Amino acid sequence: MIKSIWELFNKEDLFECYQCARCTGSCPAAMVLDHSYGPRETLLRCLNLGQEAVINDERIWYCTTCQVCEDRCPQEIHIADLLTAICNLAAQRGNLPEKIKFSVDLVAKTGRTLVISDKVHRDRQKLALPPLSPLAVDEIEGILKKTGLNEDLELS
Amino acid sequence: MPPKKVQRKDKEEPRIGVYVCQCGLNIGAVVDCAQVAEYAALMPGVVLAKTNLYTCSDPGQEEIKQDIREQRLNRVVVASCTPRLHEPTFRTACQEAGLNPYLFEMANIREHCSWVHLHDKEGATLKAQDLVKMAVARARLLAPQQELEVPVHRQALVIGGGVAGIQAALDLANSGYKVYLVEKEPSIGGRMAQIDKTFPTMDCSICILAPKMSEVGRHPNIELLTLSDVEQVDGYVGNFQVRVRRQARYVQDSCTACGDCTQVCPQVAPDEFNTGLSMRRAVYRSFAQAVPSTFRIDMDLCLNKHGIVACDRCFQACQKRCIDYADQDRIMHLEVGTIIVATGVDVYDPTPLTEFGYRKFPNVITSLEFERLINAGGPSGGNLIRPSDQRIPKTVAFLQCIGSRSKRSNIYCSNICCMNTIKDALLIKEHWPETKVIVFYIDIRAFGKGFEDLFQRARREGISFIRGVPGEIIEDPESQDLTLIGENTLLSQLYRYEADLAILSVGIEPRKDSPVIQRLLNLSTGSDGFFLEAHPKLRPVDTPTAGIFLAGCAEGPKDIKDSVTQACAAASRANILMSQGKVMVEAITAQVDEALCQGCGLCVKVCPYSAIRQDPETKIVGVTQASCAGCGTCVAECPFGALSQRHFTDAQILAQIEAVTEETPEKKAVAFCCNWCSYAGADFAGVSRMQYPTAVRIIRTMCSGRISTQFIETAFRRGAAAVLVSGCHIGDCHYINANHQTEKRVKKVWKKMERLGLNQNRLQLAWISAAEGIQFSKKIKEMVEIIGTVTLEEINQTKEVLVPDKKEKKKGEGMNRDQEYLGTL
């Protein structure tokens, strides 16, 4: 169990940020969020207000880890790593949004991120695509156990 | 000359006075100065030990003088700040009281102790005691020295013909000295000639520069060497021999600059002066106000390369017959007393920042390109047109901090871009008031006189300042209009701005060819690549090499006013040397004991200054005192102890090592630091209050090349847990390349340690520059970790197995005269 995001991310690196906002200016998630919430503000909150100011915020889960922010950061701060660290701690504390939890559950049970409905099967048939074969769920379960993710997320 | 025995017997017993400075609270708040003084009073040879609030103050110095006279002190030790700051002060005080200044010694208990151990008062006091003990041990062995007087040539060389070089050359020429002004380009003028207006006064740049340029051209004391490169610099302060290559111009000086040749030339190339926005011919003049106004042929472009005349149109067109295809490079040999380096800067090329699309989108330009576009003498006749369709833009965006304050380019603030953008934005508003101008910034740094006023004026004129630099620029492929996407951080809102033209406000960086000048003149650079001044506050235009001064952006980013100010300062500093006509050389040169010299010639090979010559018959060597810079690498190299360095003798340094290792050596590391880089780096760590543990004791030598294998081994033999050898980075050595010998010697000891089965990790070699305080403190922390791993058994084993080589024993014999002297005490 981790107690602090600083176990996963070197806090020293954050002092180099001077809030130029090139990260948020490049962020695809910021484009869909209210008040353009993005990496810049997350980083500033972490630094000035501490991790508790961001850990319960559902908006952090909009990060797709596309790493464009990191690519353009003039100070070469590993922003995506910071966001991942926040998500990890949030997940451990059970602050996982329902939708994300549902997705993980789905992967654990079916090995897929999407629900395969009957319509999907019919559509595939129409398009002459081969039917979807069942996936090795045991293996995924093994991975989840090994990484401890099933306990963290209290998966059924 | 070897000191004579008789002299030594005459020597009085050392009577050392120790002054422990509190430096207000700088030292006193951490180090128990009274305890240090009490400790010092018990050391052999010390007759008095006092504490002072400020030893460097007049009363403090007066007290020392009085004690020298009344207490018959013949050695003085001051424990205070770094000798790099106040050694000259106290030396002068000693001299005024009739004591030879070389009988003075300093212990650095501020930069190397109180400032870096703020939270360990006990440890700091113990360390201060050790540092004083080392200084006293060394002081006992100090000998009086006479400085050598060297004449100074009353001629100066200025490298670089930008505004700083122009100003420095004019100041020196007007003071009556002959000045050689060397410029690489065909004309002087530099960056300032390319700029349209200057901030904050909005003066026309070339209008105020051109009169100065023509004054240089016609000044009887200035010899202007354009299209010229400095190829070699030899000698020392007051007596530099400089070799300059004047490239062939292929147009004689009788040119009247009528321009008939250019009209007929068939060859074209991008015009460098207009940043490639227009074309020039192979025979051309950089710009209308160029000095000298003589045209030139670019032989790489001309059809007559390699002497085969395929085209002679310009020759036919020239009525005065000035064209000379057979012109050749000329080599000039100059004798100068002082050198001013005003080599200027390059402009950052933003091509690597692909998200802004520079060079991909025609309507994204740099601020220097903008200067040429808005300049009446530029390619568009002063019309700000966008490159894609030559239309006057309705919306212009400026992007700040491009190539500055970033690990992806240069980490420093380029100093001029904020004000330059504000000036440029106002220029656009002046010419085309309806234009919408938006400045995307991170911080606006309007710190100079009149700068804030200009910033306020820009805001009142309707220029928008948006905090937050765009994440990217995208282009509409058809209209080639631009869209800037980013976040306004003050409103926490994403923006999308449409703009016709985007100007990247690019930073400035050291010239690509500045390493050449650095090597030729033996300068040092900071981590940013700019030339380093001798002291950031008190010697801001001097370089560590005597007789060489810095002016303009070569030293760091600065605007025109600061460049001119610095040029005046550099000229004034050079003037001091030349008006005195002589200079005293510090008495730290190497000397030969001819009786001990075996003529092996090893010293001749390692001397970076070729100051040692060998008699062809007897093979015995001699040192040219005026050429010797005092690095001492020859002394460390000599296997017979025939060479010694004045004021840094083997005995003096060994006495320091012995003092460090007298008590609990197993908990300490001995560090050898060169005066210019690593000792200065340790000072910088102190000034910056970077905290590190107290376990390391620093011994200062002028160059790391002075550190012989014997010193390292003695430290280990005396039980030191670890040894650090530290010098300038390879290539940055203040004694040209003496630190190559350092590396060689450390490797030699490593090898020996490996052979004897000792832990090589205990001997560390680190290159630390004067600007790398952080690296220094990191290295010390590393050393402390190493000390923690060394066991007592290991140390005892070292004492047993690490015995002196045969050679070293011989060297010891050579040192007998010092030992003998020790015996008289």
Q: Kindly state whether residues B101 and B192 are assigned to the same domain.
A: no
Interface test with A, best of B414, B494, B496 (most A CBs within 10 A): B494
List strands edge to edge, sheet with B482-488.
B472-475, B482-488, B493-499
Q: How far is CA B820 from the centre of its chain?
A: 41
Rounded Cα distance between B489 and B481, Å, is: 25
Strand bridging mode B472-475 / B482-488: antiparallel
How many other C-beta atoms can be found within 10 angstroms of the C-beta atom of residue B250? 22
Q: Identify the pLDDT of residue B224.
A: 97
Q: Kindly state whether residues B572 and B467 are assigned to the same domain.
A: no
Q: Kindly state whether residues B409 and B489 are assigned to the same domain.
A: yes
Q: How far is CA A122 from the centre of its chain?
A: 32
Q: How far is A36 from chain B (nearest CA, A)?
A: 5
Residues in B touching A62 (Cβ below 8 Å): none
Tokens of B233: 């610099």
B residues 150-179 near A, CB within 8 Å? Answer: none
Residues in B touching A35 (Cβ below 8 Å): 492-493
For tokens 């005092």, the residue is B630
Which sign, positive or negative, has the C-alpha torsion B699, B705, B706, B712? positive
Report if residue B7 sits inside a domain. Answer: no
CB B195 within 8 A of CB B371: yes
Residue B114 DSSP label: I
Report if residue B463 sits inside a domain. Answer: yes
Q: Kindly state whether residues B258 and B115 are assigned to the same domain.
A: no
Report if residue B613 sits inside a domain. Answer: no
Interface test with B, best of A12, A20, A69 (most B CBs within 10 A): A20
The answer, for B489 touching chain A at a CB cutoff of 8 Å, is yes
Residue B627 DSSP label: T
Q: Identify the pLDDT of residue B554.
A: 96
Report mean pLDDT in 10-residue bins for chain B, 825 residues. 43 90 95 96 95 95 96 96 93 96 97 96 96 97 92 97 98 98 97 96 96 97 97 89 96 94 96 95 95 95 88 94 94 97 97 96 97 94 94 97 95 96 97 97 95 96 96 96 96 95 97 91 84 86 90 97 98 97 91 93 90 92 87 94 95 96 95 93 93 96 95 95 94 83 96 94 93 92 95 93 74 53 41
- For B57-61, the CB contacts below 8 A with 24+ separation are B60/B19, B60/B21, B61/B89, B61/B90, B61/B93
Report if residue B24 sits inside a domain. Answer: yes
Q: Identify the pLDDT of residue B819.
A: 47
The identity of residue B525, as a single letter, is: T
Give the domain range for residue B50.
12-146+631-823
Burial of A48 (0-12, 13-18, 19+ CB in 10 A): exposed
Helix (H, G, I), strand (E, B) or coil at B393: coil
Q: Identify the pLDDT of residue B809.
A: 62
What separation in angstroms does the CA of B537 have from each of B85, B542, B565? 11, 11, 15
CB B267 within 8 A of CB B299: no
Rounded Cα distance between B381 and B684, Å, is: 50
Q: Kindly state whether residues B386 and B432 are assigned to the same domain.
A: yes
Which of B509, B531, B560 is the endpoint of a domain?
B509
Residue B111 DSSP label: I
In DSSP terms, B157 is beta-bridged to B180, B339
Q: Kindly state whether residues B232 and B256 are assigned to the same domain.
A: no
Overall residue count recorded for chain A in this entry? 156
Interface contact B407-A40, CB threshold 8 A: no
Which of B546, B562, B583 is the endpoint of a domain?
B583
The answer, for A51 touching chain B at a CB cutoff of 8 Å, is no
Cβ within 8 Å of residue B800, ≥6 positions away: none
Q: Kindly report the backbone phi and psi dihedral angles of residue B77, in degrees, each rounded to the nearest multiple of 5, phi listed first.
A: -120, 125
Report if residue B106 sits inside a domain. Answer: yes
Residues of chain A with pLDDT under 50: none
List the one residue out of B99, B129, B104, B102 whose CA is nearest residue B114.
B129
Q: Kindly state whether residues B241 and B274 are assigned to the same domain.
A: no
CB B697 within 8 A of CB B134: yes
Report if residue B515 sits inside a domain. Answer: no
A40: left (phi over 0), alpha (psi -120 to 50) or beta: alpha
Report if residue B605 sits inside a domain. Answer: no
CB B79 within 8 A of CB B43: no
CB B186 within 8 A of CB B367: no
**Which among B355, B468, B493 has CB closest to A20?**
B468
Q: Please name each of the domains of chain A with its CATH number.
A: 5-92 (1.10.1060.10), 98-152 (no CATH)
Interface contact A22-B443, CB threshold 8 A: no
The answer, for A72 touching chain B at a CB cutoff of 8 Å, is yes
Q: Identify the pLDDT of residue A96.
A: 86
Q: Identify the pLDDT of residue B585.
A: 83
The count of domains in chain B is 4
Planar angle of CA B685, B690, B692, nearest 5 degrees: 100
Helix (H) / strand (E) containing B178: strand B178-182
Interface contact B472-A37, CB threshold 8 A: no
Interface contact A72-B493, CB threshold 8 A: no
Which sign, positive or negative, has the C-alpha torsion B704, B705, B708, B713? positive
HSE toward the beta carbon, residue B378, CA cutoff 13 A: 24
**Which among A16, A38, A72 has CB closest to B355?**
A72
Q: Identify the pLDDT of residue B616.
A: 92
In DSSP terms, B243 is beta-bridged to B232, B333
Q: How far is B456 from chain A (nearest CA, A)?
A: 22
Q: What is the ipTM of this complex?
A: 0.87
Q: What is the full DSSP assignment across B693-758?
A: -S-EEEEEESSGGG--HHHHHHHHHTT-SEEEEEEPPTT--TTTTTHHHHHHHHHHHHHHHHHTT-
B residues 384-403 near A, CB within 8 Å? Answer: 401
Which of B327, B361, B395 is the endpoint of a domain?
B327
Cβ within 8 Å of residue B389, ≥6 positions away: B480
Q: Kindly state whether residues B135 and B193 are assigned to the same domain.
A: no
Q: How far is B507 from chain A (nearest CA, A)?
A: 14
Rounded Cα distance between B226 and B249, Å, is: 9
Q: Identify the pLDDT of residue B8.
A: 44
Residue B200, preceding bond cis, omega within 30 degrees?
Answer: yes
Interface contact A26-B469, CB threshold 8 A: no
Q: Identify the pLDDT of residue B155.
A: 97
Residues in A touching B488 (Cβ below 8 Å): 21
Q: Kindly state whether residues B290 and B356 are assigned to the same domain.
A: no
Planar angle of CA B184, B188, B194, nearest 5 degrees: 105
HSE toward the beta carbon, residue B132, CA cutoff 13 A: 38
Q: Kindly state whether residues B670 and B566 are assigned to the same domain.
A: no
**Which among A18, A25, A68 has CB closest to B487?**
A25
Report if residue B667 sits inside a domain. Answer: yes
Residues in B touching A27 (Cβ below 8 Å): 471
Q: Kindly state whether residues B783 and B639 are assigned to the same domain.
A: yes
Rounded Cα distance between B623 and B604, Å, is: 9
The answer, for B487 touching chain A at a CB cutoff of 8 Å, is yes
How many other C-beta atoms can be found within 10 angstroms of the C-beta atom of residue B614? 16
CATH number for B445? 3.50.50.60
The answer, for A38 touching chain B at a CB cutoff of 8 Å, is yes
Q: Kindly state whether residues B379 and B496 are assigned to the same domain.
A: yes
How many other C-beta atoms can be found within 10 angstroms of the C-beta atom of residue B65? 18
